Each structure stands twice: as structure tokens, then as C-alpha cells.
A and B are shown apart, each in its own frame.
Chain A
Amino acid sequence: MAEQTNIIKRSNNDLFEKEFLPHADALYNFAFHLTYKEEDANDLVQDTFLKAFRFIDSYERGTNAKAWLFKILKNGFINEYRRKTRQPNEVDYEDFLTYQETDTAASVGDMDLREDLFKGLIGDEVTKAVNELPVDFRTVILLSDVEGFTYEEIAKIIDIPIGTVRSRLHRARNLMKEKLRDYAKKMGYKENR
């Protein structure tokens, strides 16, 4: 009996080491962008791993460990940090967003947002812009553009329909463009040169 328990322990430890821990860096980055603080990111990541280990039996080996861990972290953030920091409840933006699919392209039409401008923008400004986004928008940018999750994975991580992922991401990118456009203008970037 004790022998058997040891085997289970060993195999869980192995699973933890091989399938969970490799995502620690990505989880930490996500946590940092959500909480803005090193200390909170540390706690959030530790809590995530503790929970993951506690519920390791509900994880199916070989499935998407990264998405599973991100979901745990995201839920932990909502339950503990958002309440603690007393941020007002995020309203459901989709309620008042009319999603115009065609304006992805149209919205950049008034300005050339290509390489010459890209090169002039320093990373700090982009990071600052993303950190200024409301948390729901920040989250989808981080999950899609930074971590490369699919719409389906994002939908599962944050518990929203795929169509909402799409509209939220679309809106989030447009907000980023607005912020960076303002910054570029401030830096003297001329439109329609």
C-alpha cells in the first residue's frame, strides 16, 4: 500500500516537473502584467502551482497543461487580487461595443503604421500602453499576441464564447493603436507625409 502511494507520488512529481514547471516563466509574465507587482506576481504564480498540484488528478496527462495553468492563474487573479485591489467590476464591454469587422483595416488607413514608425517606438511605450488597457482587454492581448494561444484556448481560459474573444481582441488591438498613435503624434510623427 505504501509502495503504491509512493509510485503515485513519484508519477505526480514527474508530471509536475515535466508538464507544469516548464510554463513557470510564461505564467510569471502573465501574472506580472496582471498585477503590475513583482511580489503579487510571485504569490500568484506560487498559488497557481499549489492549486495545480492539489488538483493534479483532474488534469489529463498530455492535454494542454499550459492553458490549464493559465486558467487557474486567471481565476486566482479574479478571486483574490481583483477583489483585494477593489477595482470596480469590469463591465461587459461587448454589451456596448458594436463590432465592425471591417474596421480592422480601415482604422489604420489614416496613417501609415509600418516599419519606420515601429522602429521609432520604444518597447517601454508599448508595454505602458498594454498595461493601461482595462484588464479584460489586456488579458486577450497577452494571451493571443504574447503567448500565442488560439481563440478556442483563450475562450476556455477566460470562460467567454469564441465570438467574444474575437471581438474583444479586435477592440483591444484598436485601443493599442489609438494609444500608440497618440504617442507617435506627440513624438512628432507627421501624418500623410
Chain B
Amino acid sequence: MQKKWGIKRIAEALGLISKSKEKMYSCKDTLKSVMMALDGELSTDEEKAFLAHVNHCSRCLEKYEIEKSFKQFLTEKILRHHIPDQLVDQIRSRILGKADS
């Protein structure tokens, strides 16, 4: 069983080791967070840890960017149907016309 604390852990806790966050935030954590990150669903702290890792890990960065591109691609390519002006007018007159009477 692992010791509950070690010199390194304490040094991390004291902020003596600067890369502590990245090390604690592994590639596995990053992969789990990719979707949440690109959907803007991570908390501020989670996002910080995520970005700190991604900025130093090209593999995770690439995965993140691939998924992000894919989301943007869907957003851009799914056809948008626009409401005909006359339907808006019709709704307006049905509802507001009725409300006025």
C-alpha cells in the first residue's frame, strides 16, 4: 500500500513543483473531459486543469481539436430551415389579433 504522503506530494501541495496540476491531470482524465470541454460544460477549475494538460500534451490536444472540429462541422453543415415571413405574420395576427379583440 502506498504511503499516505510523500515528499513529492507535499512539495506539490506547497506549490514547489510547478507542474503538479498537469501531472495530476492525466491523459485519461482529459479524454473523459473532451466532450464536456467542447460543449462548454466543465467548471472553471476543471477547464483550467483540462487546458493546462492539453497545452502540454500534443496527443490530447489533437483529440480535442478533432472533436471540436467535428462539432463545428455539424453546426455549420446541418441545414437550417428558415421560417417563412408569412407564418410569423399569421401567428402574430392569430394571437395578438385575438388578444386585442
Contact = CB atoms under 8 A, between A and B. Distances in A.
Contacts of B94: 46, 50
Interface in A135-193: 141-142, 144-146, 150-151, 166, 169-170, 173, 176-177
B31 A29 contact: no
Contacts of B74: 126, 130, 141, 145-146, 173, 176
Contacts of B83: 24-25, 27-29, 45
Interface stretch (A58-66, A85-93, A97-105): A97-105
Contacts, number: 120
A127 B77 contact: yes
A12 B75 CA distance: 34
A145 B78 contact: yes
A114 interface: yes
B87 interface: yes
B: contact size bracket: 35 or more
A33 interface: yes
A108 B94 CA distance: 49
Contact of B99 (A49, A53, A145): A53
Interface string B70-82: 1101110111111
Contacts of A176: 74
B80 A113 contact: no
Nearest to A127: B79
A49 B35 contact: no
A130 B78 contact: yes
Given A46-B90, A53-B95, A105-B34, A114 B66 contact: yes
B14 interface: no
Contacts of A118: 69, 73
B78 A105 contact: no
Max chain B CB contacts within 10 Å: which of A17, A49, A105, A141?
A105
Shortest 8 CB-CB contacts between residues of A and residues of B: A28-B83, A126-B77, A105-B63, A32-B81, A127-B79, A123-B77, A145-B74, A101-B32
